[in-house]
Structure 1
Amino acid sequence: MLSARSLFQEIVDHDDSFQLFCSIAASGESQGGWENARIAALVPDSMRDLAPKITRHGADEDKHGRIFQALLRRRGLPAVPVPPETDYTMLLEQRGIGLTHEKLRRDEPLTEEDIVVYLAHSRVTEQRAADQMTMLVRHFGDHPDVGRAIRMISHDEDNHLSYCHEELLRLAREGHGRTIHRVLRESALAEIAIYRDVSLAVMDHMGRLLHWPTAKSAVLAAGIRGMYAYERFAGWHRMISLRLPERLGALSGAPTGVPGLA
């Protein structure tokens, strides 16, 4: 019987699939770290109070990248190139979601609207990350090799999501509500399609590495498409709602280290 637990266990147990999984994850987290660091450096003067929180967000993402690289080193495995069709961050940018890397490479201050776009886009992608990590903690939080790393990353992703909710609610009160609603909707609808495509691509690569039978690959692909159909019909709405989080000030203070992992 196929389940999230059995599927991930199979991926973790096989060196080649584990190597690809960690390489994809490390690349995405490191990219997020760079993006947040650049945004923090370019925050407009009117929003400088956000810079420390954005810096903390980026530091957390960098830490996550190092954690996945450390997991590879523990197994004696080098990182491998990320197939373009599995590069979630790159595909989002190609769809015009978030701030472009071209803009972030310039030494020009961002606008207030740019920061609103960044936070709204982050609210959507951090929901995905938090949900994925919650699922992994439920099934693998006590795993001897990856459990500690998963729990730590999950805690950080919950903080990131709380921060996005809190700051977007504040900005909505300050008059940015219309822009926030528009960007949230555009980001969510684009993200669910990209997540489907990336999931299909990742499962295709895993299937070849693990020599899955055609029937198993077909069932997994059908499940991914079924989830997309649900999200496209109704599920995407939960990715654009805003509520006051329990963790207020979640990104205040210095980032936590990871002794023994990264």
Structure 2
Amino acid sequence: MLSARSLFQEILDNDDSYQLFCSIAASGETQGGWENARIAALVPAAMSDLAPRITRHGADEDKHGRIFNALLKKRGLEPVPVPPEADYTMLLERAGIGLAHEKLGADEPLTERDIVVYLSHSRVTEQRAADQMVMLVKFFGDHPEVGKAIRMISNDEDNHLAYCHEELLRLAAAGHGRTIQRTLRECALAEIKIYRDVSLAVTSRMGRLLGWPKPKAAVLTAGVHAIYAYERLGGWRRMVRLRMPERRGALDGPATAAAAAF
């Protein structure tokens, strides 16, 4: 019987699929770390109070990248290149979601609108990350090899999502409400397409590595399309709602050490 648990267990049990999974995750987290570090360095003076939290966000993402690389090392594996069609962060940038790397690589201060775009993009992508980690914790939170790492990353993603809610609500109260809602909607509708495309690419790669028969691959591909259909019809709205989180000041203070995961 096909289930999310059985599929992830299959990926976890095979070195080649595990290597690809951890490599994709490590690359995306490391890229997120760089992006947040650059945004923190370029934050406009009028919003300088945000810089420490953006820095903390980036430090968490860097930590997650190190964790996934450490999981590979524990099994005696090296990271492998991420297939371009499975590079979620690169595809988001190409679609114009978030702040362009060209802008982040320059030394010009960002604008307040840039920060609104950054936080809106983060609210959408952190929802995706938090949802995925909740699922992994449910299935593998007690796993002897990956359980501690998964729980730590999941807690961080919940913090990131809470931070995005809190800061966007504060900015909405300061007069940015319409821009936030418009940007959230644009980001969410673009993200669900990219997530579909990346999911199809990863499913195809995993199928080849694990030798899935055609009927199984077809069922999984249909499942990806079904998820997209649900999200396109209204599931995307969960990514744009804003509410004051229970975790206030979630990114105040320093990041926790990656070593605590092992």
TM-score, normalised relative to structure 2: 0.99
Distance across 2 between alignment mates of 1:240 and 1:84: 27
Contact 2:64/2:258 (8 A) holds in 1: no
- Please state whether the residue corresponding to 1:259 is helix, strand or coil: helix
Consecutive unaligned residues of structure 1, counting only runs of 5 or more, are none
Deviation at 1:135, TM superposition (A): 0.3
Contact 1:33/1:57 (8 A) holds in 2: yes
For 1:216, the equivalent position in structure 2 comes to 216
For 2:34, the equivalent position in structure 1 comes to 34
Residues 1:162 and 2:162 are matched in the alignment: yes
For 1:255, the equivalent position in structure 2 comes to 255
> What aligned pairs does 1:122-133 form with structure 2 within 5 A after superposition?
122-133=122-133
Deviations 1:148-203 (A, max 9, x none): 10000000000000000000000000000011001000000000000000000001
Deviations 1:76-126 (A, max 9, x none): 000000000000000000100000000000001000000000000000000
Contact 2:5/2:139 (8 A) holds in 1: yes
Q: Which amino acid aligns with 1:230?
A: Y
Aligned-residue identity in percent: 76
Deviation at 1:258, TM superposition (A): 2.4
For 1:242, the equivalent position in structure 2 comes to 242
For 2:197, the equivalent position in structure 1 comes to 197
Residues 1:231 and 2:231 are matched in the alignment: yes
> What aligned pairs does 1:75-114 form with structure 2 within 5 A after superposition?
75-114=75-114
Deviation at 1:225, TM superposition (A): 0.3
Distance across 1 between alignment mates of 2:257 and 2:220: 36
Deviations 1:6-45 (A, max 9, x none): 0000000000000000000000000000000000000000
TM-score, normalised relative to structure 1: 0.99
Contact 1:71/1:261 (8 A) holds in 2: no
For 1:152, the equivalent position in structure 2 comes to 152
Deviations 1:201-248 (A, max 9, x none): 001000000000000000000001000000000100111000000000
Deviation at 1:259, TM superposition (A): 2.1
Distance across 1 between alignment mates of 2:39 and 2:163: 15
> How many residues in Structure 1 have an aligned counterpart in Structure 2?
262
Distance across 2 between alignment mates of 1:11 and 1:215: 18
Contact 1:204/1:217 (8 A) holds in 2: yes
> What aligned pairs does 1:128-139 form with structure 2 within 5 A after superposition?
128-139=128-139
Over the aligned positions, Cα root-mean-square deviation in angstroms equals 0.7
Distance across 1 between alignment mates of 2:14 and 2:178: 48
For 1:45, the equivalent position in structure 2 comes to 45
Q: Which amino acid aligns with 1:36?
A: N
Q: Which amino acid aligns with 1:216?
A: K
Consecutive unaligned residues of structure 2, counting only runs of 5 or more, are none
Where has structure 1 moved over 3 Å in runs of 4 or more?
none
Distance across 2 between alignment mates of 1:52 and 1:241: 25
Distance across 1 between alignment mates of 2:17 and 2:42: 38
Contact 1:26/1:64 (8 A) holds in 2: yes
Distance across 2 between alignment mates of 1:13 and 1:234: 35
Distance across 2 between alignment mates of 1:94 and 1:224: 22
Contact 2:86/2:198 (8 A) holds in 1: yes
Q: Which amino acid aligns with 1:165?
A: H
Deviation at 1:260, TM superposition (A): 5.7
Distance across 2 between alignment mates of 1:46 and 1:184: 23
Contact 2:152/2:261 (8 A) holds in 1: no
Distance across 2 between alignment mates of 1:78 and 1:259: 19
